[in-house]
Structure 1
Amino acid sequence: MTNWALEIDKADIRRAGIVETPEAALADGQARLAIDSFALTANNITYAAFGEAMRYWDFFPSGTAGKGRLPVWGFAVVSESRHPDLPVGDRVYGYFPAAAELVVEPAGVTAAGFIDASAHRAELPAPYNRYVRCGGDVGYAARLEAEQMVLQPLFLTGWLLARYLHEENAFGAAQVFLTSASSKTAIGMARSLSGGDALNIELVGLTSPASRDFVDSLDLYDRVVTYPEIGDLPEGMPAVIVDFAGDANINRALHERLGEDLQANIRVGGAHWEQSAPAGDLPGPRPSFFFAPDHVQRVIGELGPGGFQAAYGEAWNDFAVSARDWLAFREFEGRQACCDIYDRLVAGDPIARDGLTIKV
């Protein structure tokens, strides 16, 4: 099979195509991972839209000026190894390029996993450099691979956001508004807030008119409001925005309507990437970016690795087994399907609502 990768124009992420790539010879200590399957979601479009600012392009350099390789989450098999502790045939889960293979330099290899110690990744966020060996992962279930690829990275962010909101006592807010309430990360956050010690808040899902019925059907939000209805929001109640849409026009409308009642604006993603340039001179608090890898490290520091895994693992398993109640999973095959699905996601196609995976 010819090696390939999805290559994207950093200056205009709507311009993408498949390139053939040569097979790199392995050095001692390296391993070749044959990528088996990966998810494509709106989150991957956020990776592309913020590729320069958040260094997402740095994980898998293309070698071509002005071009980037899209990061995705998926599964791979060790197809060749020159590392004594990582045998051929091992199945691993982690962060890959949308491509046919990845060469890694495994370090800290245990039964549970390893990190890629390749020099260009040394200063990048550690959680993205960690690969899980499925055979040593007590939480791995082959029947839930699609759920893991599509939802686990998004649910982790949602779970961390819910925990952060608890830690901050919702910044004293009575209302918490989630933009792009139909997004998988927002759904994960809303579900995490619905369990355990509930905050004394009204959770409001903000969405497009076309998505209102779907968001209502989730039964996760106390109230669902469409974007054209922002001007009718009640005033006089302290509020927080958790922004998954990243839309400058929606942000301005919310800031202007909520005014002095707004306590915080937590920016998470850029689902509406074409309008993602930050709005200037907004009334109220300045939006602050929530970078999940930093919060992972912080919470692990607080709970310890075992405590973190126990707390998160229980929540994740509950979410994963419920996913097919509200999410349709669809698998596509091959390089052209990868390019086609990416193009549709960038264009804002409703297909983004489904759980999309690519079989390499």
Structure 2
Amino acid sequence: MPAWALEIDKADIRKAEIIEVHPETLGEGEVRLKLDRFALTANNITYAAFGEVMRYWDFFPASASNKGRLPVWGFAEITESRHPALGVGERVYGYFPAASELVVQADKITPAGFIDVSAHRAELAAPYNRYVRCAGDAAYSASHEAEQMVLQPLFLTGWLLARYLNAEKGFGAEQVFLTSASSKTAIGMAKCLRDENPAGVEVVGLTSQGSRDFVERLGLYDRVVTYADIPELSLGTASAIVDFAGNADINRALHQRLARDLTVNIRVGGAHWEDSTPAPDLPGPKPSFFFAPDHVQRVIAELGAGGFQSAYGQSWLDFAGRAKSWLTFREFNGADACLDIYNKLIAGDAMARDGLVISA
């Protein structure tokens, strides 16, 4: 089929369409990456919901200024290269648009990867500009590509959150509430806190009634409660919130119930994107946004690149190795499937226990 891209109305992310695109002619040092497979998760809806504020729309220019191309994580092959260090047929992993291809200006090439130094990406978050060469990645496994696409970006955020909470001694809290506890990022954070929780904070999963059994079966939370239980939460215990749901009503209910006990509200995602902006008059601490790339840079500065890979890598491999015990991977083909899955994610119809992969 012709080259294509998913484009989204920045003003109303419910409006999306597949457009035909015309392949660019490569300049010196450029490489054409043909998308093979990429994941679609609720995290991609967060990218769209915060596209303007967090500059996610700026990575992949669209056909018009009011349109955006959705960032995704996936695998691609080099089908054309005007860089002498990168050959046709090589497989890479990284940050792409939901589309059939991407042209990058490759530089800073090592056996492990390279950077897209295109001018429009120069001031954007650096971790998103790096592409991993699969042949030089000791952790790469062709049989675990689905786990890598669907879970690795989310698990990294969960790992960073757990490390942040531990470094801040739990922000003085005795219990931490993880909203949208069935989400993959929350599950990753809960797993990391189950492995290492020096502050001894009780990890409480907050979820819907329909997801309660699934969350409890994970065995990662010390306690699971539903959103309907919020008005009955016991008082007098110092509490923190890590908000993956991004639901304004849930935030207000938690703050009204726990205002005197709250020490921090860390805002991570926007699964409930239609009503995600916290009210300005919430009692207690104001929600503060967690931007994972900034924390990646801080941890690398603290541990060094090798130390970061060692600390993160072992935890990731353990998590990925257990993923199929709770997650079912489903693969779909082509542009129409991409649009259909995006619309289902926007409508909240996709199941947290499904790992959705698009073959481009």
Deviation at 1:56, TM superposition (A): 0.3
Residue 298 of structure 1 is matched in structure 2 by 298
Deviation at 1:353, TM superposition (A): 3.4
Deviation at 1:197, TM superposition (A): 4.7
Letter in 1 for 2:153: P
Q: Which moved more, 1:143-152 or 1:345-354?
A: 345-354
Deviation at 1:259, TM superposition (A): 1.2
Residue 134 of structure 1 is matched in structure 2 by 134
Residue 253 of structure 1 is matched in structure 2 by 253
Residue 25 of structure 2 is matched in structure 1 by 25
Residue 96 of structure 1 is matched in structure 2 by 96
Distance in 1, Cα, partners of 2:207 & 2:164: 23
Residue 237 of structure 1 is matched in structure 2 by 237
Deviation at 1:65, TM superposition (A): 2.5
Deviation at 1:201, TM superposition (A): 1.5
Structure 2 contact 326–353 (Cα < 8 Å) conserved: no
Distance in 1, Cα, partners of 2:212 & 2:331: 26
Residue 193 of structure 2 is matched in structure 1 by 193
Q: Which runs of 5+ in 1 are unaligned?
A: none
Residue 176 of structure 2 is matched in structure 1 by 176
Letter in 2 for 1:84: P
Secondary structure at the counterpart of residue 96 of structure 1: strand
Residue 264 of structure 1 is matched in structure 2 by 264
Letter in 2 for 1:237: T
Distance in 1, Cα, partners of 2:198 & 2:65: 49
Distance in 1, Cα, partners of 2:223 & 2:106: 48
Structure 1 contact 175–239 (Cα < 8 Å) conserved: yes
Q: Which moved more, 1:117-126 or 1:57-66?
A: 57-66
Residue 159 of structure 1 is matched in structure 2 by 159
Distance in 1, Cα, partners of 2:65 & 2:108: 33
Distance in 1, Cα, partners of 2:17 & 2:80: 27
Deviation at 1:280, TM superposition (A): 1.9
Structure 2 contact 260–284 (Cα < 8 Å) conserved: yes
Q: Which runs of 5+ in 2 are unaligned?
A: none
Computed over aligned residues only, the root mean square deviation of the Cα atoms, in angstroms, reads 0.8
Structure 1 contact 345–352 (Cα < 8 Å) conserved: no
Distance in 2, Cα, partners of 1:6 & 1:197: 41
Deviation at 1:198, TM superposition (A): 4.0
Secondary structure at the counterpart of residue 351 of structure 1: coil
- Percent of matched pairs sharing the same residue: 70
Residue 329 of structure 1 is matched in structure 2 by 329
Please show how residues 4-23 of structure 1 align to structure 2 within 5 Å.
Answer: 4-23=4-23
Post-superposition CA distance 1:100-125 (Å, at most 9, x none):
00000001001100000000000000
Secondary structure at the counterpart of residue 19 of structure 2: strand
Distance in 1, Cα, partners of 2:87 & 2:313: 27
Secondary structure at the counterpart of residue 95 of structure 1: strand
Residue 46 of structure 2 is matched in structure 1 by 46
Residue 210 of structure 1 is matched in structure 2 by 210
Distance in 2, Cα, partners of 1:214 & 1:2: 41
Post-superposition CA distance 1:322-354 (Å, at most 9, x none):
000000100000100000000000000043431
Deviation at 1:279, TM superposition (A): 1.4
Post-superposition CA distance 1:245-301 (Å, at most 9, x none):
011100000001001110000000001111112212000001000000000000000
Distance in 2, Cα, partners of 1:197 & 1:257: 26
Residue 114 of structure 1 is matched in structure 2 by 114
* TM-score w.r.t. length of structure 2: 0.99
Distance in 2, Cα, partners of 1:185 & 1:61: 27
Letter in 1 for 2:95: Y
* TM-score w.r.t. length of structure 1: 0.99
Distance in 1, Cα, partners of 2:138 & 2:62: 35
Residue 85 of structure 2 is matched in structure 1 by 85
Matched residue count = 360
Structure 1 contact 344–351 (Cα < 8 Å) conserved: no
